[in-house]
């Protein structure tokens, strides 16, 4: 079970090291099922209008809901997919009614219909994490459950956000295009401060807290994390931590 706050680095490291789709799926199930998440879905390269890449998915929604979703072509109006394609911050499904409540156009009515039907299949609440980075144009990971799970999902946004990036890092290695391009000499060289900053970030420390631990300013910590992210070829602190752990650049506590 994931404790409130930062998930244990050991558990996340195990996720990043999964070498098969089955192992990765089982690792995620062990972490999320105890907190009431009934269904989760990781997907990358979704087939939007101009995209023709092969889709890759892990996890699953109820089969009956997937059939309804595909038959109704809901991907064309799904605000979750649109958000994750264009943004980097998590989307709490509970905020969607506030976003669309004053709209009266047909598309909005269809969106409300889609979420109403999803709730009938046990997807009454959800949290979706956008995922972007090298090796895959874009992707998302959604965690869902009954409507009563909404408050729990909102409380756990930080740790589920971090988990999604570790899953994305592991899933990228499952594709043949990544395995063919991965070489030992591609591992970047991080400075001691960059490694220390990422190490404490993996423990859930804020930039200010890391600065206090290392005896440097908060701004300097942000500078080191930013530089490390650029070297690792990712965008954002969570993605940098996931990549650094998977490459063995930082270890567990």
pLDDT band for position 153 (50/70/90)? very high
At residue 89, φ and ψ (nearest 5 deg) are -95, 150
Tokens read off for 85: 């394609």
Nearest to 232 by CA among 194, 192, 188: 188
**Alpha-helix runs per DSSP H in the chain:** 9-16, 21-32, 63-71, 79-86, 96-100, 106-120, 150-155, 157-172, 176-181, 192-202, 207-214, 218-232, 237-246
The pTM of this model reads 0.69
Angle between helices 157-172 and 9-16 (to 10 degrees): 30
**pLDDT grade, residue 207 (50/70/90)?**
very high
Burial of 178 by CB count in 10 Å (0-12 exposed, 13-18 middle, 19+ buried)? Answer: middle
CA–CA distance, 251 with 153 (Å, rounded to integer): 28
C-alpha distances (whole Å) from 202 to each of 40, 41, 205, 206 are: 23, 24, 7, 10
What pLDDT does residue 128 have?
97
pLDDT in tens, 37-71: 989 999 887 765 444 445 678 888 888 898 888 88
Domains along the sequence of the chain with CATH: 9-179 (3.30.450.80), 184-246 (1.10.10.10)
Q: What is the pLDDT of residues 76-89, one digit of tens each?
A: 889 999 899 889 99
């Amino acid at each position: 079970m994931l404790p409130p706050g930062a998930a244990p680095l050991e558990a996340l490291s195990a996720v990043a090291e999964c070498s098969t789709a089955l192992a990765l799926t089982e690792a995620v199930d062990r972490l999320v099922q105890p907190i009431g998440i009934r269904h989760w879905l990781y997907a990358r390269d979704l087939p939007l209008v101009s995209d023709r890449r092969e889709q890759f998915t892990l996890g699953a929604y109820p089969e009956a809901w997937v059939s309804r979703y595909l038959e109704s072509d809901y991907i064309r109006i799904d605000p979750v997919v649109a958000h994750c394609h264009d943004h980097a911050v998590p989307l709490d499904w509970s905020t969607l009614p506030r976003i669309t409540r004053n709209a009266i156009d047909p598309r909005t009515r269809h969106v409300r219909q889609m979420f109403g039907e999803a709730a009938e299949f046990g997807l009454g609440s959800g949290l979706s994490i956008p995922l972007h980075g090298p090796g895959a144009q874009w992707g998302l990971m959604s965690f869902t459950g009954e409507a009563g799970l909404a408050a729990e999902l909102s409380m756990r946004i930080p740790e589920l956000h971090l988990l999604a990036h570790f899953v994305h890092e592991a899933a990228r290695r499952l594709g043949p295009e990544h395995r063919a391009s991965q070489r030992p000499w591609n591992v970047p060289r991080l400075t001691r401060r960059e490694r220390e900053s990422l190490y404490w970030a993996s423990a859930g420390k804020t930039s200010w807290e890391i600065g206090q631990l290392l005896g440097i300013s908060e701004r300097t910590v942000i500078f080191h994390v930013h530089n490390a992210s650029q070297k690792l070829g990712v965008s954002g602190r969570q993605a940098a931590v996931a990549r650094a752990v998977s490459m063995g650049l930082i270890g567990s506590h």
